[in-house]
Amino acid sequence: MKKYLSFYNHCIFCNSKKLSKIDTQKFRDNFYLKAIRSDLSLSRNFFSIMKTYQCENCFIVQNNPWFNEEIYSKIFSSIYGQHNRSWSNLFKFLKNKKKPDHGKLFQILTKKIKIKSYAEFNSPFTGLLLHFLSREYNEDFKKMMNLFKYSILYLNSRQLAGKSKKFFKISELNAKQFLGKIKSIKSKKIKNNRINKSLILDHSLLGWGQNDNYKSVNSHTLASSLMDLNILNLNENNKSKKFDLFGIFHTLDHTLYPKRILDYSLKRSKYVIIYCHANPNLEKQHLFTLTSDFLKYLKKKNLHVIDLTHIIAKKYYTKELYFLCSQTQNLSKFKT
């Protein structure tokens, strides 16, 4: 079974070797782990090999050993290639008029920050992008549902491999019709509520990527059509891109380079909002998790940081953390 594992003897965030083993609660099973065991033919006892450690420098918690690249890439491409929480958020939004639950976070941030440009990391339906979309259409869910429907139809009409020449002609006519519907709906957006929106991707094998699909349409492609997103790769060629707010929502723990992501966002945005798990009893499908003490580490790095977890008035079912940080902006106005 060790052929599935690699050793992570350095902190995945700060690269420190000072990792202390910690005691955790009894193993907790979940549907992710059941799927992993089933597809890889693993026993329930397999996960007892993974021990939990805390970094003495930045205080994150990580599993060691944990899955190697071959296995975690398989987990996020085929075993669980579709990001269940992200897509569920979109369907609850469209069908039940429920935005992703972040308490009063959106209201607080839009009141305290003048936001003309917003970026989000890797997953388009977990953070605040749907809140901005709703505001642009003045909560008109019928328009947004139609926009979703025609976007799916348009993107499917462009999938032509293996089709006949007759289908090509029909598809071209359909594509023009669907694209016309999309443009008509978008023309009705409220002008004063429009902002520049971007989705930043790092294409990590530790996260959901090209296989994060619904009806053969990728989440990033659909989000681009729905929200008029700029899709950008995380690299140094984007130095000119600046944002008023950068959102990282349950995606920092789905990359092998969390420090690089945070540094990137802090350099390019006035404010960075992060939402993450914060449970030292780390579940085995995750390599690592942040902790509340991680904020102490950021403050030692001369960053402005404020914990918003209890300020946003959200009801929690698991241990989670919301915090806002900035290299340049004083955050005292968020305390009131």
Domain of 33, CATH number, reads 3.40.50.150
130 and 244 together in one domain? yes
pLDDT at residue 182 above 80?
Answer: yes
Check whether residue 168 and residue 209 sit in a common domain: no
Residue 69 CA to residue 104 CA, distance in Å, equals 38
DSSP 20-58: EE----S----HHHHHHHHHHT--GGGGGG-EEEEETTT
| pLDDT > 70: percent of the chain | 95
Same domain for 105 and 86, yes or no, is: yes
Are both 99 and 231 inside the same structural domain?
A: yes
Per-residue model confidence as pLDDT tens digits over 122-163: 999 999 999 999 999 999 999 999 999 999 999 988 776 666
Clarify whether residues 122 and 162 are in a common domain: no
pLDDT tens-digit readout, 52-85: 999 999 999 999 999 999 999 999 888 888 888 9
Residues 122 and 254 occupy one common structural domain: yes
Residues 232 and 310 occupy one common structural domain: yes
Q: Mean pLDDT, to the nearest integer, of 4-33? A: 91
Domain end among 188, 217, 251: 188
Q: In terms of domains, do 25 and 111 share one?
A: yes
pTM of the full predicted structure? 0.93
Give the domain-ending residue among 188, 206, 224. Answer: 188
The residue behind tokens 């293996």 is 162
In a shared domain, residues 268 and 282: yes
User: Quick check: bond before 258 cis, omega within 30?
Assistant: no
Range in 55-59, 89-93, 192-196 with the lowest mean pLDDT: 192-196
Q: How many domains does the chain have?
A: 2
Per the structure, the complete domain to which residue 90 belongs is given by: 2-137+193-335
- Looking at the structure, tell me whether residues 71 and 98 fall in a common domain: yes
Instruction: Name the pLDDT band for 176 (thresholds 50, 70, 90).
Output: confident
Per-residue pLDDT of 199-251, as tens digits, reads 999 988 888 888 899 988 999 999 999 999 999 988 756 667 899 999 999 99
Q: How far apart are CA 220 and CA 234, in angstroms?
A: 14
Q: Of residues 2 and 267, which shows the higher confidence score? A: 267
The residues, any chain, with a CB within 8 Å of residue 251's CB and separated by 6 or more, are: 121, 122, 123, 126, 207
The answer to whether residues 77 and 8 belong to one domain is yes
Whether residues 163 and 104 share a domain: the answer is: no
